[in-house]
Amino acid sequence: MTVQTDSPSPRPPRRVLLCAIGMSPQIVTETVYALAVRPPAGQAPWVPTEIHVITTAKGAENARLNLLSTRPGMFHRLRADYGLPPIDFDAQHFHLIGSNSGAALDDIRTPQDNEAAADLIAELVRDLTADPASELHASLAGGRKTMSYYLGYAMSLFGRPQDRLSHVLVSDGFENHPDFYYPTPYEHVIQSRAPAPPTALNCALAQVQLAQIPFVRLRDGLPGRLLAGRANFTATVAAANRALEPAQVVIDLKHQQMLVNGETVTLSPTAFALYAWLAVRAQRGEPEVEWTSVEDAQDYLAFLHRTLGEFDKVTASAEASLNASIGQRDGKALADYFQPVASRGVKQALVEALGVPLAQRLTIQNVGSRRSGSRYRLPEDLRLDIQR
């Protein structure tokens, strides 16, 4: 006899709400309401599965007491009032801006505090967008203006097509009111604030609307190392800006180093040798090369002897791989040596170090055709500085 059991409910897609707040924790409940209860016209409700908050030490304690305590527990009340499913949100989801000493800041007052906020925001957004199956919705409504700026910029740097950026708009009288957290489904009275004489306001009549904010997505232009590792805000912005600058390439033959717009690109010794050979040919105005050409393979070996020396490991390895094919005039075997170095050794390293847009302006180009055959060179508009 087979006993049938209910299969577990499938886990909902990971939907992450990220808010930056100061001393106004209402931003969290207002945004959840606008997304999950009253979404913009034509859009389905978007219920977060987890919420993360960027704030200071004072902001975190204020938010914990107002949102997550037993009373008033406004976040729990919002969920109960509208029957929202469980949402992963507790004090562990507060991300505190810290000083250089590591202590959480009570406020953002100095340029160093601003830098700490920028780095925390960039690192958190990078982490939250690392899961390709997740959706991230970031709200700009809270915190200091610099926090909103950094959060919006971080979304431009790391945001994917499924990620969104927004601001909540609250009707007059309720905006910034310390007792208003969301429009209630029942009559709930709070008193208007000075300087006008106190007037009863019914929270059920409040309007909270979500304003979607379009943003430019630059993620594909970032180096892979910044997407995979700790994302310092300043370094990430500098990398994004480098992709827009004219490509200045320095080839240091003596130390076997390559720099692009001041950024060191780590190439394997074999990949560096191939790129340096093409760079020297480009600087001399010499024609494109063919991976299948015996004459070009001989020119490459001669370059290695002149530049790296007779006993260099790259030279010895290249001679071992190429000499037999040169003697047999075996073009296919020659191409089998050069092509992987160009595609995997050079291209992948450039993308990892510089990002796709800038790497595409530097990588080895195939300028041939079906009729004339494949021929290779570096891009013609490169600014090359070859140091011997």
List pLDDT tens digits, range 166-186: 999 999 999 989 999 999 999
Q: Domains in the chain and their CATH numbers?
A: 15-237 (3.40.50.10770), 246-387 (no CATH)
The DSSP code sequence of 14-26 is -EEEEEE-SS-TH
List pLDDT tens digits, range 342-377: 998 999 999 888 888 888 899 999 987 766 678 999
List pLDDT tens digits, range 59-70: 999 999 999 999
Average pLDDT of span 248-257: 92
Average pLDDT of span 100-128: 84
% of the chain at pLDDT higher than 90: 62
Q: Which amino acid is at 351?
A: V
| More reliable by pLDDT, 1 or 107 | 107
How many other C-beta atoms are found inside a 10 Å radius of the C-beta of residue 39? Answer: 16
Q: How far apart are CA 178 and CA 276, in angstroms?
A: 64
Closest among 362, 355, 361, 363 to 221, alpha carbons compared: 355
Q: Which amino acid is at 388?
A: R
**Residue 24 CB partners (closer than 8 Å, separation 6+):** 142, 176
Average pLDDT of span 373-384: 89
Closest among 192, 193, 174 to 183, alpha carbons compared: 174
The answer to whether residues 99 and 116 touch, using CB atoms and an 8 Å cutoff, is yes
Q: Residue 230: pLDDT band by 50, 70, 90 thresholds? A: low
Q: Residue 195: pLDDT band by 50, 70, 90 thresholds? A: confident
List pLDDT tens digits, range 293-316: 999 999 999 999 998 876 688 899
Average pLDDT of span 114-139: 92
> What pLDDT does residue 207 have?
96
Phi-psi region of 347 (alpha: psi -120 to 50; beta: other; left: phi over 0): alpha
Rounded (10°) angle between helices 233-242 and 145-158: 50
List pLDDT tens digits, range 32-77: 999 999 998 889 999 999 999 999 999 999 999 999 999 899 999 9
- The predicted model scores a pTM of 0.76
| More reliable by pLDDT, 235 or 250 | 250
